[in-house]
Amino acid sequence: MATDPSPQIPMRASSKSSNNSIHPVDVETPPVRTPTPIIYREIKHFKKWIPWLVPAFVVANTVMFIITMYVNNCPKNSVSCVADFLGRFSFQPFKENPLLGPSSATLLKMGALHVKEVVDGDQGWRLITCNWLHGGVFHLLANMLSLLVIGIRLEREFGFIRIGLIYIISGFGGSLMSALFLQSNISVGASGALFGILGSMLSELITNWTIYANKVASFVTLLIIIAVNLAVGILPHVDNFAHIGGFLTGFLLGFVFLIRPQFGWVSQRYVPPGHSSSARPKFKKYQCILWAVSLILVIVG
């Protein structure tokens, strides 16, 4: 006799004579236990800083220019001045200073870079003070506007300590380069420090290449900005040696100060309990190599 291989479902008959239908017995099934959901916290590896140091640099440079113009006192030392209504804050004649600024003697008095004073007069402090002086209104506006546009973004991403160090050290590096190749004229301006910020942007893009979405577009855009700013160095009264020195210094410092963990790395403190963290190392090998080589070059240089 053949048997049905399918599983038997318990049946029960209704006790009412008016209803002869047969129903399956209700089988109680154990409740399905859902696993406890894992609560992930927001991972904030990259803290957003409130930029204040870069605006402070802009204010400091502007105040130093006002003080320089006060010391210059064009009506007392020149026959004719530009914008006489400004009194002692009026500018030197265009033939003497086309940038709307003080005389060379005043800039030298305030701390402009001059190789003879540094070498023969033991005034090495001029390598630093020259970065806070400007030759004129046009010079000041060009540098400070560029610093605001470029520097605020970097300070928001990396904080005031790193950007402040890059700015000051790059300015010093630009002064050294200028002293080596521009020994007959005086040099002033924050251009070396500004180009150091530009150089650090390029090295930051290179060392943190894996976390950028539009890599090629970002790289090409930055190269265009750098090329345009370097091209300004061919204009008269512009110290391109300070630009190059500051750029190279900032480029090396960017590998040292602006390195970030590679994409996909998770810090152990952000991993939920009972789960292992990613096996990826915090930094890629090429990042470590660039960091070590750049640090050695900065120290040796």
For the question of residue 146 being annotated catalytic, the response is: no
Q: How far is the C-alpha of 56 from the C-alpha of 167, rounded, in Å?
A: 12
The two three-digit tokens of residue 96, written as one number:
């003497």
Asked if 99 and 133 count as a contact pair (C-beta separation under 8 A), the reply is no
Distance set, CA 241 to CA 107, 174, 182 (Å): 19, 7, 8
DSSP 3-state of 5: coil
Q: How far is the C-alpha of 245 from the C-alpha of 178, rounded, in Å?
A: 7
Which residue out of 103, 170, 187, 191 is catalytically annotated? Answer: 191
For the question of residue 276 being annotated catalytic, the response is: no
For 220-225, the CB contacts below 8 A with 24+ separation are 225/198
- Backbone φ/ψ region at 43: left (φ over 0), alpha (ψ -120 to 50), beta: beta
**Residue 23: its H or E element:** strand 22-24
Asked if 258 and 36 count as a contact pair (C-beta separation under 8 A), the reply is no
How far, in whole angstroms, is CA 234 from its chain's centroid?
Answer: 26
Which residue out of 114, 134, 139, 243 is catalytically annotated? Answer: 243
Asked if 239 and 187 count as a contact pair (C-beta separation under 8 A), the reply is yes
Q: What is the DSSP string of 229-242?
A: HHHGGGSTT--HHH
User: Residue 66: phi, psi to the nearest 5?
Assistant: -65, -45
Location of structure tokens 């017995």: 25
Q: Which residues contact 195 (CB under 8 A, 6 or more apart)?
A: 170, 174, 229, 230, 242, 243, 244, 246, 247, 250
Asked if 69 and 83 count as a contact pair (C-beta separation under 8 A), the reply is no
Active-site positions read: 191, 243
